Amino acid sequence: MNVLMIGCGKMGGALLKNWKDGGENFTIVDPGLSEAPAGVTLHADKAALKGRTFDVVVVAIKPQMVDDILPDYADAITADGYVLSIAAGCSITRLKAASGGSPVIRVMPNLPAAIGAGVSGLCASEDASKTQLAHAREMMERAGTVIAVADEDELDRVTAVAGSGPGYVFELARAYVEAARTIGFAERDATAMVIQTMIGTLEMAQSSEMSLEELRNSVTSKNGTTAAGLDALNGDGQMSELLEKTLGAAYARAVELR
């Protein structure tokens, strides 16, 4: 299968590292890229394709560039090919119009896809075939977990939870480290403790059959240190309310961008 990537920025490059050994033949068109991974063909402009067509065209350019650039590649998509877009906020309707009506599958990966541990939302146009859906899903599974959704509104909600999620986790970890420093730890020790505590705890949650509430309770003794800390953290429910506001704000912005 021949795959063309239009653009290959930070996220496109991260996905390509996970994709390139999956059996497809990859070609990139990106005037700003100086080199490509071994086995991947790189061109500076479309003219270098010399009329070649591709089974999949990956849209990895900025959303605001789609309407100007993607129409030039409509003739590079095979009759039974499809468009796979990672352009955040660019709707299926826009992508179909710009690609000459080809089936479109939108994906919303998050940053850990760069290390094969991401979460990607996947949403397809009605004319995408089962074969195309299966191929897109398999490609994205090389970069982590895939959540297939029924429509773009649900994809926007995936964006709010998972797409933007690494930012929330990084900020939570940063604040946790700062709190550890306030009780006397050096930054290096505080960072090591916080990150490993989070990694170990989340790995335990992933491997356990217990709910998150049950796991929390299992480490919380009555009138103990954890109970005191949890009461300060969310005893009044403010943290829960803040997270609801966080996801609500991100979702509202995703809808605006669509």
User: Whose structure tokens read 């998050």?
Assistant: 110
Confidence band for 144, pLDDT divided at 50, 70 and 90: very high
Domain coordinates in residue numbering, the chain: 2-150, 165-257
Main-chain phi, psi angles of 118, to 5 degrees: -85, 175
pLDDT in tens, 17-36: 999 999 999 999 999 998 99
Architecture of domain 165-257: Orthogonal Bundle (1.10)
Q: Chain-centre distance of CA 21, in angstroms? A: 20
pLDDT in tens, 203-237: 999 999 999 999 999 999 999 999 999 999 999 99
Report the interhelical angle of 165-182 vs 187-207 (nearest 10°).
Answer: 130
Do the domains at 2-150 and 165-257 have one common CATH topology? no
The per-residue pLDDT for 177 is: 98
Mean pLDDT of all residues in the chain? 95
Is 2-150 CATH 3.30.530.20?
Answer: no
Task: Return the bridge partners of 146, or none.
Answer: 120
The per-residue pLDDT for 258 is: 72
- Residue 160 CB-density burial (10 A; 0-12 exposed, 13-18 middle, 19+ buried): buried
Q: Chain-centre distance of CA 47, in angstroms? A: 31
pLDDT in tens, 81-117: 999 999 988 999 999 999 999 999 999 999 999 999 9
Q: Is the pLDDT of residue 255 over 90?
A: no
- The residues near 96 (Cβ < 8 Å, ≥ 6 apart) are 83, 102, 104, 125
The per-residue pLDDT for 65 is: 94
Here the tokens at position 103 are 């089936």
DSSP string, 128-196: --HHHHHHHHHHHHTTEEEEE-SSHHHHHHHIIIIISHHHHHHHHHHHHHHHHHHTT--HHHHHHHHHH
Q: Is the pLDDT of residue 121 over 90?
A: yes
Here the tokens at position 207 are 């491997």
The per-residue pLDDT for 88 is: 86
Q: Among the residues of the chain, which ranges form H helices? A: 10-19, 66-69, 92-98, 130-141, 152-158, 165-182, 187-207, 212-218, 225-234, 238-257
Q: Is the pLDDT of residue 129 over 90?
A: yes
